[in-house]
Amino acid sequence: MNLHLTVNGIAHEVAIDPTERLLDVLRDRLGLTGTKEGCAEGECGACTVIVDGLALNSCLMLAAQAEGRSVTTIEGLSAGGGLDELQSEFIERGAVQCGFCTPGMLMSATALLRTHPEPTSTDVRAALAGNLCRCTGYSAILDAVTSVAVRAAEQPGG
Amino acid sequence: MTDTDLGTAAATFDGTHSGLAGRLGDSVARPDGVPKAQGSYQFSGDLTADGFLWGATLRSPHPYARIVRIDVSGAWKIDGVAAVITAEDVPGKATYGLISQDQPVFASDIVRFHGEPVAAVAADHPETCRRALAAIVVEYEVLTPLTDPEQAVDGSFPPIHPDGNIVRHQRIIRGDQSIEGPIIVEGTYEMGRQDQAFLGLEAALAIPAPGGAGVELYVATQWLHEDRKQIAACLGMPEDNVRLVLGGVGGAFGAREDISLQVHTCMLALRTGRPVKIQYDRAESFHGHVHRHPCTVWMRHHAGTDGRIRRIEARFLFDGGAYASTSSAVLINGITHTQGPYQCENATVHGWAVRTNNLPSGAMRGFGVVQAAFAHEGQMDKLAAAVGVDPVEIRLRNAMQRGDRLITGQVVDNVAPVARLIRETAALPLPTQPVGGTDHDPMRLPGGAGRTADERHIVRGIGWGVGIKNLMYSEAFDDFSTARVRLADGVASVKFATVEVGQGFITIVGQIARTVLGVGEVVLETIDTQIGSAGSTSASRQTWMSGGAVDGACRLVRERLFELVAAKYQLAAVQLEIDGTDVVDTLGTLRIPVAEATAGILIEETFEHHHVPTEDLDEDGQGNCHTAFAFVAHRAVVDVDPELGLVKVVQIATAQDVGRALNPLSVVGQIEGGIAQGVGLAVMEELLQVNGIVKNATFTDYLLPTFLDMPDVVISLVEEPDPHAPMGAKGVGEPPTVSSTPAVVAAIRDALGKDLHRVPVRPSDICF
């Protein structure tokens, strides 16, 4: 079957097997390997992408369910090979160690900040509770997300 | 495909994210942070090659069985299958292993654990592989498994392996064996099986050389050269024909120290003449790598009425599982740390590491010392209660100092600020939030919002854990690491085989080179076997060992640079030094940029760093078997729901003996991450086996600390540079896991007034 979806702003038509997951299409058909598979059952969040504004596990979504939808992956977070504010804070504050959870963590955090630009620390913890990190103990990730939120709040009109 | 396409671990450290200076002592950001945050960093599981095939492994469904017959003909009938291999196809040595080579590449006659590899296939698609594995017929004669390690010790179970059921026994006999009391406290402490649970699953890509003369393997591992040695032996090839390149590593924590898919991947590639990639899924990963040893420790402490330890008796039993892996070294680590960071002159200790039909046990962060610390810290609290002092006071009264001896007779000749660590931890602020928080947020309660915890019934407890951890390898192993530095046109290029698993070694390489050589740009070359070994990324050793190698190579290069500058300007080399990015004459006015001084020239030096020699233990467990030691203190605050048996770890305070924090950001990251794993072991993580069958090889059922489970961590870095350490820095990776677990358990005991002697602490342990 043919799947039509937009990934990082680019429209694609992809021939897929009906059993493929969105994760498979992103990684194996479109070569977007920034989205990771850590458990294949929605527990670790390494495969998190944003579909029409909602962060979800691409290992739990059949590719066919993405028909006509807009998907943002880690590769689409910042234009032109740069870094957005959240990515920069992750790097500067030590929220990245092995980095395997980082893309999924960034996608969940991005979705959170889009809908809750001034989250409490409990909001951040709850929103990212579906993303496992085995290296950092989460503290640096909390710092990174919180610092972006605080800066947004301090901006004029923010 | 070029090396560059696959040389995933190579990165250019251009200072983009290196902070103001990027020198030793600065909190420099990772050089691979940008590609990791952009998703472009290639982990080993992201690698492919033109025309590659997928490989997959058939595993035993039984923990112990005789293989009667294997029929692979069905697999060959499936379109797309390119190779089917079993034990018969292993071209070289049939077994491998880190210390003794007792583990078959494929089981041929007996399977000894649930999930042991029996065959492997290569095919055009993972789904084809799955169907091919299903088409292989293996007829088993199921045997009764040995699952109780006591039966291995007492000899009541027939040998399950030609090497026997006891991997190693060692005793430690020191001092006056007749000392008894007057205060005696005793306990038995059990630890379940913890999984390293790195997120980046095992993956490797093997590319055969034309004609099958050799193979290149891109793999996430911890020790490239040791892997190569074992792989080459099994392939029946000279080591020179096998090149290993580090694929991006998604965490390790000990689980990648042993061979898993390496030999299988190479065999399939050589058999098919095509690149082959194997990638485990999570369930296979749980079966496919070693775990932390389940362990039972009995201890009896004899002390004076003042609480000073007079003698310790102990018995350790480590369940090594089906194959030896590093069990013999884990055993030695455990028993030699019996006393913890406390003075003790007299000891009677027996330890066993044994073989069972459980999953093989091996390295995990803390390596035997975690098991010892859970026991000795439980004993210290019992001792405190027996003599009527608090947990801090009992530890201060017994605190080890530099110059004290271990029960092996070895003098602790490292900075040993145990009392200071305890005092600094005690001085860290306790949590200000009451149970449930001032906002009565159920998310702060044990069990979270989804449970029914009654805030009024929650009890809070405080507990302590203090630890000692040996650094580097032990028992006469000639441990070294190699680094090569080239300096030209103001740029330093550094080559090493040190595995970066996420811990941040590649960050400090740039810091060292900048500090010693005054360069701006540092290029990190591909991490592979095209240089001497770096040893394993384990044992908290790479900052000391490979950091020492990079530092040594940089210093040799700097000497050569000074000689060149001195000759050119008719100065003595000894009067030159690096100041910032310049070479300066300390006795005159000369100041030239390093970039200018090295224009058009190339200086290259290689340095091998060895640590001080260590010794084997004698039959009474005496000898200078360890290299160096680091210390740590933890204080845990927990809230416990005694009705539902749930625990919320609220805060961990810690002071850690780091020697010198070469990169404080990185050190703090190691401490917080290590504590997370200690908390997980304390209250949730356990890989369960029933009669040898693994029951929870998924992230749904193997519980890991999430963002909501992780306590606040408050940290004091105690920096007393160690004179034996290159750059003064001690390894920092393992101490956080050593005594955070006992601190959490002590806090739960404190909250409940109940003896708890097993981790992870389960709801039933709390409620009943």
pLDDT at B17 over 50: no
CB atoms within 10 A of CB B409: 17
How far from B109 is each of B65, B335, B507, CA to CA, in Å? 9, 35, 47
pLDDT at B10: 36
* Residue closest to B247 by CA, chosen among B283, B288, B210, B200: B200
Is B38's Cβ below 8 Å from some Cβ in A? yes
Query: pLDDT tens across B221-239, in order?
Result: 999 999 999 999 999 999 9
N-terminal to C-terminal alpha carbon distance within chain B? 61
Q: Are residues B600 and B680 in the same domain?
A: no
Q: Are residues B599 and B700 in the same domain?
A: no
pLDDT at A157: 54
Helix axes A102-115 and A139-154, enclosed angle (nearest 10): 30
pLDDT at B445: 87
Rg (CA), chain A: 16
Q: Are residues B87 and B228 in the same domain?
A: yes
Q: Which of B17, B18, B36 to mutate against chain A (most A CBs within 10 Å)?
A: B36
CATH 1.10.150.120 in chain A, residues? Answer: 79-154
* Residue closest to B194 by CA, chosen among B308, B296, B294: B294
pLDDT at B219 over 80: yes
Of the candidates B36, B42, B676, which has its C-beta nearest A96's C-beta?
Answer: B36
Task: For B17-30, give one letter per residue: b (16+ CB within 10 A) or e.
Answer: bbeeebbbbbbbbb
Q: Tell me whether strands B203-208 and B183-191 are parallel, antiparallel or unpaired.
A: unpaired
**Cα–Cα distance for residue pair B458/B456, rounded to 1 Å:** 6
Q: Are residues B365 and B445 in the same domain?
A: yes
pLDDT at B373: 98
pLDDT at B12 over 70: no
Query: Judged by CB atoms within 8 Å, which residues 58-97 of A form the interface with B?
Result: 73-75, 77-78, 81, 83, 87-88, 90-94, 96-97
Residue of chain A whose Cα is closest to the Cα of B708: A125
Three-class SS of residue A6?
A: strand
Give percent above pLDDT 90 in chain B. Answer: 93
Question: Which amino acid is present at B640?
Answer: V
DSSP label at residue A26: I
* Residue closest to B505 by CA, chosen among B543, B550, B544, B551: B543
Residue of chain B whose Cα is closest to the Cα of A79: B38
The alpha carbon dihedral of B93, B97, B101, B103 has a sign of: negative
Peptide bond into B760 cis (omega under 30): yes
Q: How far away is chain A from the Cα of B306, in angstroms, using its nearest Cα?
A: 39
Is B668's Cβ below 8 Å from some Cβ in A? yes
Q: Are residues B540 and B568 in the same domain?
A: yes
Q: How far away is chain B from the Cα of A68, in angstroms, using its nearest Cα?
A: 24
Residue of chain A whose Cα is closest to the Cα of B47: A33
> Which residues neighbour B199 within 8 Å (Cβ) at sequence distance 6 or greater?
A36, A38, A44, A46, A98, A100, A101, A132, A133, A134, B250, B251
Q: Which of B432, B441, B707 to mutate against chain A (most A CBs within 10 Å)?
A: B707
Q: Tell me whether strands B203-208 and B215-219 are parallel, antiparallel or unpaired.
A: antiparallel
Query: Judged by CB atoms within 8 Å, which residues 156-185 of B form the interface with A?
Result: none
> Which residues neighbour B281 within 8 Å (Cβ) at sequence distance 6 or greater?
A40, B201
pLDDT at A156: 67
Q: Are residues B317 and B453 in the same domain?
A: yes
pLDDT at B598 over 70: yes
The alpha carbon dihedral of B316, B318, B324, B328 has a sign of: negative
CB atoms within 10 A of CB B748: 25
- How is domain A2-76 classified at the CATH fold level? Ubiquitin-like (UB roll) (3.10.20)
CB atoms within 10 A of CB B183: 18
For residue B738, is it within any domain? yes
Query: pLDDT tens across B481-526, in order?
Result: 999 999 999 999 999 999 999 999 999 999 999 999 999 999 999 9
pLDDT at B581 over 90: yes
For residue B570, is it within any domain? yes
pLDDT at B60 over 50: yes
Q: Are residues B604 and B564 in the same domain?
A: yes
Measured in residues, chain A has a length of 158
> Which residues neighbour B504 within 8 Å (Cβ) at sequence distance 6 or greater?
A97, B30, B663, B666, B669, B670
Strand order in the sheet with A2-7: A10-15, A2-7, A70-72, A48-51, A54-57
Three-class SS of residue B134?
A: helix
For residue B586, is it within any domain? yes
The alpha carbon dihedral of B697, B701, B707, B713 has a sign of: negative
> At B13, is the pLDDT very low, low, confident or very high (cuts 50, 70, 90)?
very low
Phi, psi of B522 (to 5 degrees): -125, 125
Task: For B298-320, give one letter per residue: b (16+ CB within 10 A) or e.
Answer: ebbbbbeeebbbbbbbbbbbbbb
**Cα–Cα distance for residue pair A64/A62, rounded to 1 Å:** 5
Max Cα distance, chain A (Å): 49
**Cα–Cα distance for residue pair B319/B355, rounded to 1 Å:** 7
Query: pLDDT tens across B66-86, in order?
Result: 999 999 999 999 999 999 999
DSSP label at residue B292: P
Q: What is the CATH number of the domain that holds B133?
A: 3.90.1170.50
Query: pLDDT tens across B130-173, in order?
Result: 999 999 999 999 999 999 999 999 999 999 999 999 999 999 99
pLDDT at B553 over 50: yes
Q: Are residues B712 and B673 in the same domain?
A: yes
> At B449, is the pLDDT very low, low, confident or very high (cuts 50, 70, 90)?
confident
* Residue closest to A90 by CA, chosen among A142, A54, A129: A142
Backbone φ/ψ region at B187: left (φ over 0), alpha (ψ -120 to 50), beta: beta
**Cα–Cα distance for residue pair B432/B725, rounded to 1 Å:** 38
Whole-number average pLDDT of chain B: 95
What are the CB-based long-range contacts (under 8 Å, 24+) for B18-23? B18/B510, B21/B514, B22/B510, B22/B511, B22/B514, B23/B511, B23/B514, B23/B515
Q: What is the CATH number of the domain that holds B491?
A: 3.30.365.10
- The string of DSSP codes covering B522-533 is EEEPP-BSSS--
How far from B507 is each of A127, B44, B158, CA to CA, in Å? 30, 20, 51
Q: Are residues B13 and B51 in the same domain?
A: no
> Which residues neighbour B73 within 8 Å (Cβ) at sequence distance 6 or greater?
none
Query: pLDDT tens across B350-398, in order?
Result: 999 999 999 999 999 999 999 999 999 999 999 999 999 999 999 999 9
pLDDT at B5: 35
CATH 3.10.20.30 in chain A, residues? Answer: 2-76
Q: What is the pTM of this model?
A: 0.96
* Residue closest to B265 by CA, chosen among B132, B80, B120: B120
pLDDT at B434: 87
Of the candidates A35, A131, A140, which has its C-beta nearest B669's C-beta?
Answer: A140
Which structural domain, as residue segments, surrounds residue B736?
Answer: 295-474+617-767
**Cα–Cα distance for residue pair B161/B102, rounded to 1 Å:** 9
Question: Which amino acid is present at B369?
Answer: V
* Token pair 């979270």: residue: B448
pLDDT at B439: 82
Give me the number of domains chain B comprises.
Answer: 3
Q: Which residues of A touch B39 (CB under 8 A)?
A: 32-35, 73-75, 77, 102-103
For residue B494, is it within any domain? yes
How far from A68 is each of A4, A23, A111, B564, CA to CA, in Å? 6, 16, 20, 67
- Whether B199 sits inside 8 A of A44 (CB atoms) is yes
Average pLDDT, 10 consecutive residues per value, chain A (158 residues): 97 96 97 98 98 97 98 92 94 98 98 95 95 98 94 72
> At B20, is the pLDDT very low, low, confident or very high (cuts 50, 70, 90)?
very low
**Cα–Cα distance for residue pair B550/B545, rounded to 1 Å:** 9
**Cα–Cα distance for residue pair B721/A2, rounded to 1 Å:** 63
pLDDT at B16: 35
For residue B150, is it within any domain? no
pLDDT at B454 over 80: yes
Q: Are residues B346 and B430 in the same domain?
A: yes
Q: Are residues B9 and B84 in the same domain?
A: no
Is A79-154 a CATH 3.10.50.40 domain? no
Q: How far away is chain B from the Cα of A80, in angstroms, using its nearest Cα?
A: 11
Q: Are residues B323 and B468 in the same domain?
A: yes
pLDDT at B21: 55
**Cα–Cα distance for residue pair B290/B768, rounded to 1 Å:** 32
pLDDT at B244 over 50: yes
pLDDT at B15 over 60: no
